[in-house]
Amino acid sequence: MKKLLMGILGPSDVAFNRFLPALKKSKHFEYVGVAIAKPHERNESSNGSYHEYELKAMFRKSMAKADDFINKYKGAIFNGYEQLLSSSVEGIYIPLPPALHYLWAKKALECGKHVLLEKPFTTNLADTRKLLKLAEQKGLAVHENYAFCYHEQINKIRQLIEDREIGEIRQIRAAFGFPYRGAADFRYNKELGGGAVMDCGGYPIKLSTLLLGKTAQTMTASLHSAKEHNVDVFGSATLENEDGITAQVSFGMDNCYKCELEIWGSEGCIYAPRIFTAPTNLTATVLLKKQEERVYEIAGNDQFLGSIDHFYQCIADKTLRLESYAEIESQSRQIDDILKVTKKQGGNYESKIHTGC
């Protein structure tokens, strides 16, 4: 079976540490190379806000990182994003900061490339819908890389629910947050699409809608900003489906680390303490708490590979591709609803940011 050629826009850390090790194991794709932005491409992405000395420094840093890609994974270095998009690659992986997703995904689709985007898909619902419309018109696959959805622990949790091991679901609680990463991190920059709800918030929101179903809606939400930054740094929301089952989600990027799911049922509870970010070599655990506690161990599982394989299935199967469009739009709508609710409430308050638990 001929493998599809895959390239990467930008030598990011997530591409180097998680995506490429998984791509190398894929039976569907062949890695071709990574592209470094030319100066005019950086300024196009930032409305011309960079000075010449900044562009030169960025180029040197990107080239050094791209050299690491070559040394470890082989492939080529493309001198410019446009050069990669005009090449023979069939798929593009975009791990750029969120504010750049729409621009470069649109260009990739216009060049006839299937697109795998890091989350969030875009920074607003309108842009998401534009990309989905363009992808459908061209018969191309797009995929939002919430890789945790493809870890085997998700299948185990669904099985326990379907087998009624906890009876009827009463409530879902999901949380994801981590300590402050420093002002230079793109997550704290509004111009780059930063903010907790866009970053770590997307994980528990995505998981909650997976479990609640297509009727899930945002009922309440709260986002909190910090004096040192112009983005939200932590928040929470409540989602509810047509059956009245609620999910309470919380998230933050100025918090002690938390990465967990709890499903409270009429006859027991399910608890997963590493639900979103399980590395490949981790034996993940799912706990079933009833009269006695059962522990299910899920051996090392590459969720990035699972996500890549799903991307390929979207390319190969039109029905799955259309379902993927709907899921992406749903996720973007949930985040958009949270932003609307909090804006309407005008309830953001400022909190002193710090660097530890």
What is the rounded CA–CA span in Å between residue 146 and residue 161? 21
Q: Distance between terminal CA atoms of the chain?
A: 50
Return the SS3 of 45: helix
Cα gap 58→10, rounded to integer Å = 11
User: In what helix (H) or strand (E) does residue 22 lie, and over which residues does it extend?
Assistant: helix 20-25
Task: Report the distance separating Cα 253 and Cα 224, nearest Å.
Answer: 11
Contact 134, 114 (CB under 8 A): no
Is 343 in the active site? no
Q: Which of 119, 227, 340, 352 is catalytic?
A: 119
Distance from C-alpha of 18 to C-alpha of 134, rounded to nearest angstrom: 28
Q: Residue 77, class by beta-carbon neighbours within 10 Å (0-12 exposed, 13-18 middle, 19+ buried)?
A: middle
Q: Which residues contact 115 (CB under 8 A, 6 or more apart)?
A: 91, 92, 94, 105, 108, 109, 135, 140, 141, 142, 143
Sign of the C-alpha dihedral computed for residues 46, 49, 52 and 56 taken in this order: negative
Which structure tokens are listed for 37?
């932005």
How many other CB atoms sit within 10 Å of the CB of residue 164? 13
Q: How many residues are there in the chain?
A: 357
| Alpha-carbon span 3 to 116, nearest angstrom | 16
Catalytic annotation, residues = 119
